[in-house]
Structure 1
Amino acid sequence: MDDKRNLIFAVLLTGLILFGWPYVASYFFPTPAPVTSTAASTASPAGAATSDVSVEAAPAKVQAVPIGTALQSSARVLVETPKLKGSINLEGAKIDDLVLLTHRTELAKDSAPVRLFAPSGTKNAYFARFGWAGTGITAPDDKTVWTPSGTKLTPSTPVTLSWTNAQSQKFEIALSIDDNFMITAKQRFINNNTAPVEIANFALLSRTGKPADATSGGSIFTHIHIGPMGVFDDQPNYDWGYVDVEENKGEASFTSTGGWLGFTDKYWLGALIPDQKTPVSAKFRASGDVYQAQVIPTRYNSVAAGAAYDSSSRLFAGAKEMAVLNAYSQDLGIPYLDYAIDWGWFWFIAIPFFWILHWLFGVFGNFGVAIIGLTIIVRLVMYPVAQKQFASMAQMRAVQPKLKALQERWKDDKPRLQQEMMQLYKEEKVNPLAGCLPILLQIPIFFALYKILLLSIEMRHQPFVLWLKDLSAPDPLTPINLFGLLPFDPPSFIAIGILPILLGVTMWLMQRLNPQPMDEVQKQVFAVMPWFLMFIMAPFAAGLQLYWVMSNLVSIAQQKWLYSRHPILREQMAREAQEKAQAKANAKA
């Protein structure tokens, strides 16, 4: 098989995977209807809890208040860690004010830190709350004002919030926080009344609005899941987007022992993590532009007079840093927390590649250099395959005269021609498909690296050299506006950066080294292919463009060296070029 056909095959298949798979998946594998939990769908049996608990109703459409105004409207406990800063609203015991100190909204170092949680009533309200539901009690609600044991929650100073109702029943939420993004809430109920009660603790996340790039299952071009997500009974569930919940009568219910649920954004995560040994009922809800995740035990606990009930759960609120998520999964026994990063179909390649990139970054201190190092490693690993590809090319070129003779002899009998060609391949011990293997192997590698550069927060805002200040963004320097000298920003589809141009040039150079196709249509396709891909790749992350350019350069070096190992191939190519030139000269004459 001509290596040019391999390239066409690779481009088409890569395009199908990158852009066409969601359409295929949505048609042939539609999202199944949710399995509604028994507790949520039928009358609750005696002693069963309901997941429809003390949640805030969707607020009326009013003018959003500024965050500063909302923060000053109630008493608060400060939150301060090496990575988080904010406060807890004592009205409702809401964790509703968190910014991520180690991540900025813009590339500039003096830009504001990313805000994850915001108070109710603000434009993008997003908060967590822990509470109780039950019978025979007056439970605290979102308007209850709590009394704190301290003024600041830090990794070394936990804070306990307490409140006592009119029946002398006391509620406590002991909050602690680590150096990263995990908050632990130990809830305690003390029944100082004379009658027993049935009670269960719950936790909820509530957010107003959704991220700009969120769809029902992820962007068609980015192929990432943004929105409601959970792990139920040890199974990650990406089936629900915001729109899916809305269209399912505003609700999606599950039951599970262990796991977690919440909202995953491209780089950030808010997740409720119940006690891993307690059966729970979990639910996503949508009401207007307010979305909630809720979790509550499937059964109430009976608390006798004078007795107490203790429960514990966690809240993850922060960046999806792979090392942090992985440590929580291993050290705290939280299943698949690292799956909040949707690595996609080629996760088995993406995850090892991520750790190799992470290690190389630790060695070189520059992600661009790390990408170059990864490219070289990949090409070295695939070198034996490349050798076989070139050997196959040499064999194919050697039998070209015999193939031409067969084509001339059997040009009017296609079935017989195919039969004779297969017999020739068998006699010459040539495998026409051998050259496809390197291309097939490159597709999942390319796609896995695409996901890493798209999703990995470790790559966000990472510079390379000179004008490349953010490898997770497209190359910003384009000749369309004379590299920024002209005062306008061209449309993204023509804003071709330096790296995409280098990608097109290096692909063109690779084609010059390869045998030219005999078919004129194929020749025309290959003539435009490098420049077509230059436009296609322009909007992608600069890190991915860097990988492809470097891969092309290494391939060119490999080709030159391998041609020296297969002089017959080189000589035959030169001979064919001479024959072709002579044929053209004769035609003109």
Structure 2
Amino acid sequence: MEDKKTALALFLCFIIVVFYSEMFLAPEARKQAEIKIAQQKNESELKSNIEDNAVVSAAQQQKHLSVPTEVGDSSSRDSLNTQAPKANTPTAENYLNADSLIIDTGVAKFNLSLLGARVKSLKLRDHKLTLNSKELYDLVSVTGDEPLPLGVYSGNANDNFTVYTISKTNGDIQKIGNSFNLIANNTGEIELTGKLSDGTELKKIFTFTGESYYFAVEVIVSNPGANKNDIWLEWNEHLTDEAIHDRLDPKNFSILESDNSIEKILVNDKKLNSETFTDFSGNWSALGGKYFMTAIVPAISGKNILVGKLNNNFIARVRGTNSGGKFFVYSGPKITDKLKDAGLQLERSIDLGWFSVLAHPLLWLVKFFYGIFGNYGLAIIVLTLFIKIAFLPLTKVQFESMRAMQALQPEIKALRERIKDPNQLNQEMMALYKKRGVNPMGGCIPMMIQLPVFLGLYNALLNYVALRHAPFALWINDLSAPERLEIFGVGVPVMIIIMGISMIIQQWTSSVSVDPAQKKAMMMVPVVFTVMFIIFPFPSGLVLYWLVNNIISIIQQTILKAERKISPLNATLVASVVIFSVGYILTLI
């Protein structure tokens, strides 16, 4: 089998893998969210005399985020009810008229309604809703006819219409009126008291820590002996039809099951219906997209997690006992270091694909270079150059194999003209390869070795929340979004077009085939690739990586082809300095 045909087949397989990953396994985009009214931060100095009690530090609180212990069966415990909830819920007007508390942890701002002790909004201070918006990203997404998140359910009873009152506050929490502030590492508690719809008295104790996305919700039933049903805590989100079927940013439930496996259920999965819940035995359940999520941790093990939906309202519930339980919640961006803090493997909710073992160190390098240059675009450029330098020996092997194949082209052409039987032709060609000491797969093997690195970096950049709204240079102001330069009111994908041109040049410099039909087919690959980049818009960070990779590849191939005295390594290093310098200058314009 001829090397170029094999290379073409493998390259087309590579395209299929990449675009299947893009459209179905690891799509990219930002979560669509409904714009909500901003809550202005109270910047006045908060003063209050708060009861000085012993508190749990942030580190201690995170230490308590452990996998729940098994609770044995009990006749007082209700059977698992997998029927989807159908309860009356407060209206938007009910919530509007109810009192609420504002809790500011420094990284998140909570609006906690005293009607149901539910979260009306949870806004992230370091993340905007859209690139040019002043509105903060809100993790609470419900409509007027749906309950707010963090509701308590027990059998047929719930706290939908429970009006809670503040019974006390503890810890290092500053208070003025109904506003509460926490500084870094300080922990404070807000204890609320109310009754379920069946008259069961309970307390809801919220524990917040300054500069942390973690918080705790402890539910205490005052008379557990009279309550035969277990307590469940719920997190729910409303998703539009567009968001449910969005292939570019698929929303999903992630569940860490008791056997330590991760179960992912897309919100458009047919196993989710409006009649029943799906039950799991697990350590936590998370609901979110590429960049943000909310995870809730049950208070016990066993059949302790339910996921389901009611129309467009997607629901996750975690279980306590009939006396209540302490539930932990992470609600924020998917930042690996933050997710690791709890020791619950929440970082596994980030899907970096088949080559995650490579994606993690590559992502670490992106962060490292960003720490040096302060620009993620420059960090991507430097990482790309670093990878190309590291793979230069493989590039040389690939090029030498292709050149050896080129030297055999006249003899291969003669064999084709002389032998018409395909089987005999293949036998003669393999004999020729063996005689000349040429490996027909020699040019493909180095490419296949580099493929996992590309896919690892691809998924790393695709899921890295820090690239969201991160600028590079000129018109490229969001590396997580497709780039478009407005020309006479039309968005032109300039960098993709330049990338396409670079692919054509690269194909021309690396071509060794003398078969016109093969040359034509190979030259069509860059055109098809460019069109697909435009039809299925890639984030500009990935396009930047591909463009720089093409440019340095062209330089390496040109030097190897010319056989000049300058070594390929020195040429690559010089070219890398020039490419980085151009990129740096662009950031200054």
Scaled by the length of structure 2, what TM-score is found? Answer: 0.76
Whose RCO is larger (CA < 8 A, sep 6+)?
Answer: 2
1:160 pairs, out of 169, 179, 191, with: 191
Structure 1 position 56, deviation (Å): 6.0
Gaps of 5+ in 2: 26-72, 170-177, 566-589
Alignment of structure 1 residues 82-231 onto 2, 5 Å: 82-108=106-132, 111-118=134-141, 121=144, 127-131=148-152, 133=154, 141-148=159-166, 149-150=168-169, 151-155=178-182, 156=186, 157-163=188-194, 170-178=201-209, 179-191=211-223, 197-210=227-240, 212-215=242-245, 219=247, 222=248, 225-231=250-256
Q: Secondary structure at the match of 2:287?
A: strand
CA distance in 2, matches of 1:271, 1:312: 14
Does 2:577 align with 1:563? Answer: no
**Amino acid in structure 2 at the alignment position of 1:49:** D
What one-letter code is carried by the residue in structure 2 that aligns with 1:556?
I
What whole-Å deviation, never above 9, does each CA across 1:310-369 have from its counterpart, x for those lacking one?
621112222222321233xxxx2313x112222222322322222221121111110110
Question: What's 1:338 paired with?
Answer: 347
8 Å contact from structure 1 (residues 264, 340) kept in 2: no
1:54-87 CA-to-partner distances (Å, cap 9, x unmatched) read: 9863669x9x85xxx6653101121111111131
The alpha carbon displacement at 1:207 in A equals: 2.4
Q: Matched residues in 2 for 1:283 and 1:164: separation? A: 24
Q: Report if aligned partners of 2:3, 2:440 keep a CA contact under 8 Å in 1.
A: no
What does residue 583 of structure 2 align with? none
Aligned 8 A contact 1:93 1:129 in 2 = yes
Between 98-107 and 422-431, report the one with greater CA deviation.
422-431
1:390 Cα deviation from its structure 2 partner = 1.7
- Of 544, 549, 552, the match for 2:550: 552
* Distance in 2, Cα, partners of 1:489 & 1:107: 19
Cα 1:6–1:536, aligned 2, differ >3 Å: closer, same or farther? Answer: farther
Q: Distance in 1 between matches of 2:131 and 2:523?
A: 38
Q: Map 1:409-424; keep pairs closer than 5 Å.
A: 409=418, 411-424=419-432
Deviation at 1:45, TM superposition (A): 7.7
Cα contact 1:368–1:464 (8 A) shared by 2 = yes
Q: Is the 8 A contact 1:153 1:159 kept in 2?
A: no
Matched, 1:237 2:237: no
Q: Cα offset for 1:22?
A: 9.7
C-alpha distance in structure 1 between counterparts of 2:147 and 2:126, whole Å: 20
Cα deviation for residue 447 of structure 1 reads 3.3
Bigger radius of gyration: 1
In the alignment, does 2:497 pair up with 1:501? yes
Residue matched to 1:394:
403
**TM-score, normalized by length of structure 1?**
0.76
1:524-561 per-position Cα deviation (integer Å, ceiling 9, x unaligned): 22333323322222321111111111001111121123
Q: Which amino acid aligns with 1:544?
A: L
1:16 is matched with which residue? 16
Q: CA deviation at 1:406?
A: 3.0
Query: What's the offset of the Cα at 1:378?
Result: 1.5
Task: Give 2:475's aligned residue.
Answer: 467
In 1, Cα distance between equivalents of 2:232 and 2:514: 70
State the alpha-carbon separation in 2 of the partners of residues 316 and 380 from structure 1: 40
Question: Which residue is equivalent to 2:103?
Answer: 79
Mapped partners of 2:511, 2:197: distance in 1:
88
The structural deviation recorded for 1:269 is: 0.7
Structure-1 separation of matches of 2:82 and 2:421: 75
Asked whether the 8 Å contact 2:159–2:197 carries over to 1, the reply is: no
- Report the CA distance shift for 1:291/1:159 in structure 2 as closer, same or farther (over 3 A): same
Cα distance change, pair 165–432 in 1 and its aligned pair in 2 (3 A): closer
User: Where in structure 2 are the equivalents of 1:469-548 lying within 5 Å?
Assistant: 469-477=477-485, 483-484=486-487, 486=488, 488-489=489-490, 495=492, 497-538=493-534, 539-548=537-546
Q: Distance in 2 between the 1:412 and 1:24 partners?
A: 43
Q: 1:166 to 1:97 in 2, by over 3 A?
A: closer
Amino acid corresponding to residue 236 of structure 1 in structure 2: I
Q: What is the letter of the counterpart of residue 212 of structure 1?
A: E
Q: Cα distance 1:537–1:70, how it changes in 2: closer, same or farther (>3 A)? A: farther
Aligned AA (2:506) = M
| Root mean square deviation, CA, Å | 3.4
C-alpha distance in 1 between matches for 2:214 and 2:554: 48
Q: CA deviation at 1:189?
A: 2.7
Tell me, what secondary structure is at the counterpart of 2:353? coil
Q: Which residue of 2 aligns with 1:575?
A: none
Q: The residue matched to 2:115 in structure 1 has which SS?
A: coil
CA contact (8 A) 1:50 1:296 kept: no
CA distance in 2 between partners of 1:413 and 1:4 (Å): 20
Instruction: Give the counterpart letter for 1:91 in structure 2.
Output: L
Assess, with a 3 A threshold, how the Cα gap between structure 1 residues 5 and 326 changes in structure 2: closer, same or farther.
farther
2:363 to 354, 363, 381: 354
1:441 pairs with 2:449 = yes
Partners of 2:385 and 2:87 in 1: how far apart?
54
Amino acid at match of 1:510: Q
Select which of 366, 369, 374 maps to 2:383.
Answer: 374
Partner Cα separation in structure 2 for residue 373 and residue 326 of structure 1 = 27
Aligned AA for 1:293? A
CA contact (8 A) 1:147 1:163 kept: yes
In the alignment, the residues of structure 2 paired with residue 245 and residue 190 of structure 1 have an alpha-carbon distance, to the nearest angstrom, of 37
Segment drifting more, 515-524 vs 383-392: 515-524
Alignment correspondent of 2:577:
none
**For structure 1, which segment, 49-58 or 313-322, has the greater mean C-alpha deviation from structure 2 after superposition?**
49-58
Partner residue, 1:384? 393
Shift of 1:2: 7.1
1:285-311 CA-to-partner distances (Å, cap 9, x unmatched) read 2222222111224xx55xxxxxxx562
Q: Would the alpha carbon gap of residues 542 and 165 (structure 1) be closer, same or farther in structure 2, given more than 3 Å must change? A: closer
Cα distance in structure 2, aligned partners of 1:361 and 1:346: 22
Counterpart Cα distance in 2 of 1:518 and 1:53: 66
Q: In 2 relative to 1, CA 379–250 (structure 1 residues): closer, same or farther, beyond 3 Å?
A: farther
Identity of aligned residues (%): 25
Deviation at 1:153, TM superposition (A): 4.7
CA 1:92–1:52: 2 relative to 1, 3 Å: farther
**Counterpart residue type for residue 265 of structure 1:** G
Q: Counterpart of 1:385 in structure 2: which amino acid?
A: L
Deviates more, 1:79-88 or 1:164-173: 164-173
CA contact (8 A) 1:6 1:435 kept: no
Q: Contact 1:245–1:251 at 8 Å: present in 2 too? A: no
